[in-house]
Amino acid sequence: MRTGGWILSPGNNCWRTAEAREAAVLIDGEAYFANLAAALQKAERSILILGWDFDHRIQLEPEKGPTLGEFLRSLVEAKPDLRIRVLIWSLAPVHGPGSMTALLFGARWHRHPRIEVRLDHAHAFYACHHQKIVCIDDCLAFCGGIDLTVGRWDRRRHALPGRRRLWPGGGHYPPVHDVQIGVTGDAAAELSHLARERWRRARGELLDPCPSPVPPPSLGVQPDFTDVRVAIARCGSEATGKACDEIAALTLDSIGAAKRWIYIETQYLTSRLVGDALKRSLAEPSGPEIVIVTTKRSWGLVEHFVMSNNRDRLIRLLRRADRHGRLRCCYPVVPGPKKPHPMKVHSKLMVVDDRLLRVGSANLNNRSMQVDTECDLAIESGSPAEQARIAGIRNSLLAEHLSATPEGVAAVLAQTGSLFAVIDRLNHGPRHLHPFDHVGERGPTKPIPLTWLLDPPRSIGA
């Protein structure tokens, strides 16, 4: 439900809004991990990490400096008032790519009285804790799609073979694209409140908020926004059965409000709730262009069977509804030794017109919309300057996928008014967007039977 001409509506499609002194979108792992390393060193009292997975063996700066575990241990040893708490999904040792033994049996780095690493069991049956949040002294926080685990670091060039893109045990992992957002000020304080509440539900311990530092810390990078309102949207079914569907409501309201363009990056695209909203938009004679960038093939046999096949069926459904030619579904590729190589898209992002930017942990699958514990941050422009910044971020993302420059993307968009024209004119470099041309209009559109068990549209029970 939208009120007063604004998409964001606290209590309906978001939990609350708060002002960020600074907000910066950090594109790909190199930018986020480098910024996070600098931010963690500013911590004096509290570092609270929530994640789907965690691996102490990664390096925030590959081939430079200590492992993440050694780095965190050095921080508490240097700062006597600092406590570090890490809360990870209870089934991460089974489903995540990180170290199983470290999460189950511990590791030397966190055998310290002021470091706690715990598993989160406070969710409904087979729901998962999927938030990726780091809070520092309640005044600086990060949220998005990037867990502190293996297989997440990459540069924006996404080159193959990627010398620094290494698994801890050796060998290279494929290129991966992701997005995180950092905030300071009241927005960071509210995100920290959410994280402390998650710790309380999972561990039964109420954490005191940190006193506000003077002077307040900076993000340490050129912010994309200053003094901007940031909305926090949640999803999750707690062990009590209480559900929160703000993210689903925000997704539907954002699609319904779009006039010119919807730009989406998502790891998964299987939600029928979202599919129906996109179908309604495509049915409008003068609705927005819709560009969806997603992964070609999911990792793992079961994940591929459920997510990739059901995504193809949803794309087929949307193409049948696209009678006005306003849908593009594509996957990014990078040049390989012999042929172009599909890149893994792990980002969860939506940009509506030049009006709304949303970054978080929620994919466009059933789990993220209505079951798993998720958190997204959204910024709705209130001025021409904020509109320009939102447009600039979208243009930068498109430029990354098209071997182009943000200025080149902006020039074509200003000339044509079409994201499709941008793709058609600039999509000829070594990195480009490839259509899902293997998905024709003929074939099944309904989800594969029984796959709802792995991508449930609602909680299976407490």
Q: Which residue has the tokens 């992002």?
A: 349
Q: Which residue has the tokens 């594969």?
A: 448
420: left (phi over 0), alpha (psi -120 to 50) or beta: alpha
Kindly tell me if the per-residue pLDDT of 166 is higher than 50: yes
Q: Which fold has domain 21-209+219-226?
A: Endonuclease; Chain A (3.30.870)
Greater model confidence, 166 or 231? 231
Which band of pLDDT confidence, cut at 50, 70 and 90, is reported for residue 103? confident
Mean pLDDT (the chain) is 92
Is the pLDDT at 265 greater than 80, yes or no? Answer: yes
Q: Which residues face 235 on adjacent strands?
A: 245, 374
**pLDDT of 156 over the 60 cut:** yes
Which helix (H) or strand (E) segment holds residue 314: the answer is helix 309-321
pLDDT at site 170: 84
Q: Rounded to 5 degrees, what are φ and ψ at 3?
A: -130, 145
Write down the domain spans for the chain.
21-209+219-226, 229-453
- CB 57, CB 99: distance < 8 Å: yes
Model confidence, pTM: 0.95
Q: Which range, 96-100, 298-302, 330-334, 370-374, is most confident?
A: 330-334
Residue 243 has pLDDT above 80, yes or no: no
- Residue 2's pLDDT is 45
- Going by C-alpha positions, the residue among 382, 348, 330, 129 that lies closest to residue 250 is 348
Q: How far is CA 54 from CA 87, 93, 149, 221, in A?
A: 9, 9, 5, 25
Q: Is the pLDDT of residue 459 over 80?
A: no
Is 229-453 CATH 3.20.20.70?
A: no
Residue 262 pLDDT level (bands cut at 50, 70, 90): very high
Q: What is the pLDDT of residue 1?
A: 40
* Residue 107 or 407, more confident: 407
Q: Which two tokens stand for residue 328?
A: 């593009």
116-148 as b/e: b if 16+ CB within 10 A: bbebbebbbeebbbbbbbbbbbbbbbbbbbbbb
- Whether 21-209+219-226 shares its CATH topology with 229-453 is answered yes
* Sign of torsion over alpha carbons 23, 407, 420, 270: negative
Phi and psi torsions of 453, nearest 5°: -65, -30
Better-predicted residue by pLDDT, 1 or 384: 384
- Residue 351 CA to residue 180 CA, distance in Å, equals 14
**Average pLDDT over every residue of 153-168:** 91
Nearest CA among 386, 31, 42 for reference residue 221:
31
Residue linked to tokens 């409904």: 124
Smallest CA-to-CA distance from 369 within 254, 450, 279 is with 254
Q: Where does residue 157 rank: exposed (0-12), middle (13-18), buried (19+ CB within 10 A)?
A: middle
- The model's confidence at residue 461, banded by pLDDT at 50, 70 and 90, is low
Angstrom distance (rounded) from CA 95 to CA 87: 16
Sign of the dihedral defined by the CA atoms of residues 139, 72, 182, 42, in that order: positive
Quickly tell me which residue has 């390393």 as its tokens.
37
C-beta neighbour count of 69 within 10 angstroms: 22
pLDDT number for residue 105: 78
Q: Tell me the C-alpha distance between 169 and 131, whole Å.
A: 26
278-321 residue pLDDT tens: 999 999 999 999 999 999 988 777 788 889 999 999 999 999 99
* In the predicted structure, residue 182 carries a pLDDT above the cut 90: yes
The whole-angstrom separation of Cα 377 and Cα 19 is: 12
Query: The tokens 């029970």 sit on which residue?
Result: 461
Count of other CB atoms within 10 angstroms of residue 420: 16
Is pLDDT at 161 greater than 80 in this prediction? Answer: yes
- Residue 220 makes CB contacts below 8 A (sequence gap 6+) with 35, 38, 39
pLDDT in tens, 2-60: 445 899 999 999 999 999 999 999 999 999 999 999 999 999 999 999 999 999 999 99
pLDDT computed for residue 339 by the predictor: 86
pLDDT per position as a tens digit, 421-443: 999 999 998 899 999 998 888 88
